[in-house]
A and B are shown apart, each in its own frame.
Chain A
């Protein structure tokens, strides 16, 4: 009798071991930025309840895991933008399967053969590039192939405290904010704002920041038709157009039209506390700011919150700097199950892009951007124009994040008066060109 039991146990164990691999879920590693919020959304699978970038992406991945028991996605969250870590992971052969990469950074990894072209995989799950918006398709396409599933297009915006704008007398009869149409108007309105409210017009995160400065410069160079990256290997930034932009921001700094010593988190808090009129920040805070404006007792609830693209200050193209987020897939040997699981994950994000667009980012799919549901989201009537205005750097420009650091450092030095404007522009140009010449 005892022997029988032992035999039965042994046979059962053997069967389970054999059956094991086919029952086990396919493991995928996903690496992303957008922050960590497990305390609030760690277990949430109801995506509709989530707000903000972190909340929505966490909930989406939770839902994917819940809906697909045959696939298990484990998530590693990295500090924005996470490229130092990703580069080290690629170099040591330990890259995640799927990773968030900006469209502006795709070419760095694609040019080294580290990313998998996704055309065939996406086609196999029914996602074709003609479904993408033009901005998303162009951003994700390198050398004629798709190297990342675009999930949005983003840009910088004017986030406006309407209560302070009303106090400053900068509101039209229809209740919309009065925005400047030239650098001179901007300075005049900022002065008027300061006089009437006693507060700075801008809430900017200028402390040890580079990205904001650079995006501001690119936007106003586009608006002056300055083709500063005509040659992707050689930049021209020591130009009268660039000088105009830097001098404009320097005047804003010198005349006290902006907050000065705040870092990114500090600037968000200052804007939410009503310490300035316009915060220069991205599409990603629209959802959070709107939620604040609907909460009684907050500074944004007092007179309302509005959000607009950067005003057209120059006579050139109607444009502003834009970029986008994608899911890219690392190049490595995989079983058909693993590849199929990646396809499922990408398809899930393509299907659920509307939820992602609730963050404030613009959707990467034509069907969503033209949908009534998207248009019905708050403030989309004012910011949807960004889909046409948004312009990235030419996709052949490599090391865009490193360039951003150099441009931002030099702009910061010029604006805060640590360096002469001409010297800063000359150094900016030579440092970027030195970097590009040695790739």
Chain B
């Protein structure tokens, strides 16, 4: 009599087991792709260095109080208007065509009472200590958006692509083409509209 072979293990439930595991990992997976607003903090400076004088017209002062209300150059403003106002200020190019600060690529109103040149224009944000972080980020976001939209406009004019798109592609490593040369171009654009965002020390009082 031939020996009986061992009965085969039923593999039918294999799929069920695998499904169970699959669902477990599906649920626990969090695709972490953190994104955010990058910033460079100013290094600590000697207190006896006198800060350079900035003309009042080259300053765009954004004050945020503890109730999250905005005061922009001494006028109250809604958050939704901040981006436009910042663009107008940065792109003003108020210097006359004879002065060395003349801005050739600016498309603003060229009003004398606003900034001379994007290179000179400084945006200063001052928060109260009790301002909510939400508003703080919203303000930062709008100001970065103002810079980005101007940079996009210039890169479109000069190179035919959008600054933010290409920068994202390079950061993600998906950019196909000459990276070095493109990074140089990005730098050129950045110099046309340099990010000059200063943050004043917040006031200690609640008012």
* Physical interaction between A and B: no
Which residue numbers of A lie inside 8 Å of B, CB to CB? none
